[in-house]
């Protein structure tokens, strides 16, 4: 089963609502400009901004692993360019489970800690796993 961007976005929205982020939900379609998901927590004024990427299409991409790499870097650039230094927002990038190795190896835990950035891994069952900077720190070694 190919986890396209719509599937990943739906799974993340469901996960967010279970976490208490269910007010003022703004969700963009694939072709629209802006952050893919912006939502506020129901108890306190904390916003969560999430950039979502799906599995690259094997029919249109000759080298799927290279397309994954491009989407990974592109998602990081998109979420970083939308960060607001005055706001105490939380940020995340959401990927299908095929990106998990890239996230744990290539996303520096120091950056995640400083920028309040999390990674969300969506499995084919629809389950979302949150990867925090603490988990990345335990998995990453010094270069």
pLDDT tens figures, 34-74: 899 999 988 888 899 999 999 988 777 788 888 899 999 99
Query: DSSP string spanning 77-117?
Result: HHHHHT--SSS--EEEEEEEGGGHHHHHHHS-HHHHHHHTE
CA atoms of 141 and 57, how far apart (whole Å) = 32
| Residue 140, token pair as written in the block | 């990453």
pLDDT band, residue 85 (cuts 50/70/90): confident
pLDDT band, residue 140 (cuts 50/70/90): confident
Q: What is the mean pLDDT of residues 77-83?
A: 92
| Residue 138, token pair as written in the block | 């335990």
What's the Cα-to-Cα distance from 59 to each of 30, 65, 121, rounded to whole Å? 18, 13, 23
pTM of the model: 0.91
Tally of residues, the chain: 143
Is 92 in contact with 118 (CB distance < 8 Å)? Answer: yes
Q: What is the pLDDT of residue 63?
A: 87
Q: 39 forms bridges with which residues in the sheet?
A: 48
Residue that has been written with the tokens 């190919």 in this structure: 2
Please give the share of the chain, as a percent, with pLDDT higher than 70.
98
Per-residue pLDDT at 118 exceeds 90 = yes
Per-residue pLDDT at 143 exceeds 70 = no
- Please name the residues in contact with 3: beta carbons below 8 A apart, sequence gap of 6 or more: 54, 55, 96, 97, 98, 122, 124
């Amino acid at each position: 089963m190919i986890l396209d961007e719509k599937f990943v976005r739906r799974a993340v929205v469901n996960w967010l609502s279970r976490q208490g982020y269910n007010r003022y939900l703004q969700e963009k379609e694939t072709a629209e400009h802006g952050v893919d998901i912006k939502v506020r927590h129901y108890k306190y004024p904390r916003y969560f901004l999430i950039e979502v990427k799906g599995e690259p299409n094997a029919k249109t991409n000759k080298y799927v692993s290279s397309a994954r790499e491009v989407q990974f870097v592109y998602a990081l650039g998109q979420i970083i360019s939308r960060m607001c230094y005055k706001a105490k927002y939380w940020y995340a990038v959401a990927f299908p489970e095929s990106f998990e190795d890239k996230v744990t190896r290539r996303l520096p835990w120091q950056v995640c800690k400083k920028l309040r950035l999390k990674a969300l891994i969506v499995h084919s069952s629809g389950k979302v796993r949150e990867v925090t900077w603490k988990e990345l720190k335990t998995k990453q070694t010094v270069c």
